[in-house]
Amino acid sequence: MPPGSWRGTVPMADRTIRLRVNGKTGEGVAEPRVTLLDFLRDTLRLTGTHMGCEHGICGACTVLFDGAPVRSCLIFAVQAEGHDITTVEGLADAAGDLSVLQDCFWETHALQCGYCTPGMLIAAQALLRRNNDPDDSEIRDAISGNLCRCTGYGQIVEAIRLAADRLNQRSRPGNAS
Amino acid sequence: MKAAAFDYTRPRDLPDLLRQLAGSTDAKIIAGGQSLVPMMAMRLVRPALLVDINDVQDLQTIALEDDGVVIGACTRQADAEKSDIVREHLPLLAAALPFVGHDQTRNRGTVGGSLAHADPSAEIVLVATALQAELTLARSSGTRISSARDFLAAPMTTTLDEDECLIAIRFPRWTEAGRLGIGFHEVSPRAGDFAVVAVAAQLLIDQAGICRRAAVAVANAAPMPIRLTTVEAALLDTAVDRKSAREAAALADDLLDPPSDLHASAAGRRHMARTLIERAILDAAGLVAGHGSHG
């Protein structure tokens, strides 16, 4: 039977999907049409990654895919087989801790409702990894794919700037902590 | 919004990919998926089979040749943007890539995927049109070369057959003596949004200051991106200055057939096109236009 005639009548076979999430092996079963976003949230129960628009506009679902920020609603889980994913749960060293960046978001009130925050944090984390001293326009560029409807973005830019300063201070000789 | 059910295959190499395409019905190739997945989520597209080309390493290369740069179709936009070969030898594409979506989409989206999607406002489609790129299309029985112009048949429509895959894009290099200048400008509501109007220009200016080659193209001022042949002709064999740039830009008007939508009226797009063409020519001629790159 040609594949076209199955459509809408027979569900596609489930796949076993194995990937690395936040340094650990994550494994689950899903149809090919399940997005990486739904797989992370529903199958692996990592609900820190937020679902916003589901068509690549809002950036709330941003995760690191092999170290690069991507929208997890625009990748099918089956495509992530064997790849390395970092979600917001993987930013701090231990559960309950905050990373320097997360601390700075808290300190500068860089969130109100918090819906966009996981995506903002991942996008900012990716920026700080490749550029330890970004200026405001570079920060704005890095978060330009992430919508926030509360803050007006000012405090988010401030938080990322503060995190860059703190991380630089910490890595300076004599300031080990 | 969830995609309809589909079957999935991830060929390991090019022969495997072409074999699977030849043996499938109602298959769709997925590269970066940055346009395809939203269309599937909205159920505008419901392929029975998704053929994922992300593991085909041969499609992720950037090669410098004597008179061109050949980019594998599944090369990430972010990788092309970072490529020294692209920066040095394809400065027009390098200038356009930062306008393509956002970091998060360029890390996944591909150069070939943008062309195969054929969105009329896409920057990569515009540059391929301006530079007259050549596309290599492969099927199990052989390959053929298509010009960008022939390939890009209409908005969201290409001449790619069902059993074919776009495998590489060859952007010509202009290697004649002289200074190569480029200009890229677009108007968009916000950084990373689809262009309301975009313009790409590339000029080769000889030692005497005379323009010896010219490519000027515009997106979203006609159904598909078009080369502005009358503008190019007006610049050729002249010393480009501010006055002649303005006069040449005005010649575009007869070639334009802009759409009207909620972002801009047809008349507004004509105005933007003329202004951006002038700025892009000034940039390419080394006469700084004095405006931000976002138009």
Which chain B positions have a beta carbon within 8 Å of A74's beta carbon? 33-34, 37-38, 105, 108
Q: What is the mean pLDDT of residues A124-148?
A: 97
Pick from A2, A38, A126: CB nearest B25? A2
Report pLDDT for A1.
43
Beta partners for residue A29, in sequence order: A16
Question: Does residue A2 register a pLDDT over 90?
Answer: no
pLDDT in tens, A18-57: 999 999 999 999 999 999 999 999 999 999 999 999 999 9
| Complex ipTM | 0.93
Which letter, b or e, does each residue of B256-276 get, where b requires 16 or more Cβ atoms within 10 Å of its Cβ?
A: bebbeeebbeeeebbebbbbb
CB < 8 Å from A in window 187-246 of B: 190-192
pLDDT band at A175 (very low <50, low <70, confident <90, very high): low
Question: Does residue B2 register a pLDDT over 70?
Answer: yes
pLDDT in tens, B138-175: 999 999 999 999 999 999 999 999 999 999 999 999 99
Which chain A positions have a beta carbon within 8 Å of B34's beta carbon? 56, 71, 74
Q: What is the mean pLDDT of residues B251-279?
A: 97
pLDDT in tens, B15-69: 999 999 999 999 999 999 999 999 999 999 999 999 999 999 999 999 999 999 9
Question: Does residue B204 register a pLDDT over 50?
Answer: yes
Report pLDDT for B157.
97
Distance from CA of A62 to the nearest CA of B (A): 8
Please give the residue of chain B at the shortest CA–CA distance from A59: B104
Q: What is the mean pLDDT of residues B62-84?
A: 98
- The token pair at B171 is 């952007």
Q: What CA–CA distance (Å, rounded) separates B119 from B198?
A: 13
Asked if the C-beta of B52 comes within 8 angstroms of chain A's C-beta atoms, the answer is yes
Q: Which of A65-69, A168-172, B173-177, B227-231 is predicted least confidently?
A: A168-172
Report pLDDT for A82.
96
Report pLDDT for A116.
98
DSSP B33-79: -TTHHHHHHTTS---SEEEE-TT-GGGS-EEEETTEEEEETT-BHHH
Asked if the C-beta of B162 comes within 8 angstroms of chain A's C-beta atoms, the answer is no
Own/partner long-range contacts of A50-57 (Cβ < 8 Å, ≥24 apart): A50/A115, A50/A116, A50/A117, A50/A118, A50/A119, A52/A115, A52/A116, A52/A119, A52/A147, A54/B1, A54/B2, A54/B41, A55/B1, A55/B37, A55/B38, A55/B41, A55/B42, A56/B34, A56/B37, A56/B38, A56/B105, A57/A147
Question: Does residue B291 register a pLDDT over 60?
Answer: no
Asked if the C-beta of A173 comes within 8 angstroms of chain B's C-beta atoms, the answer is no
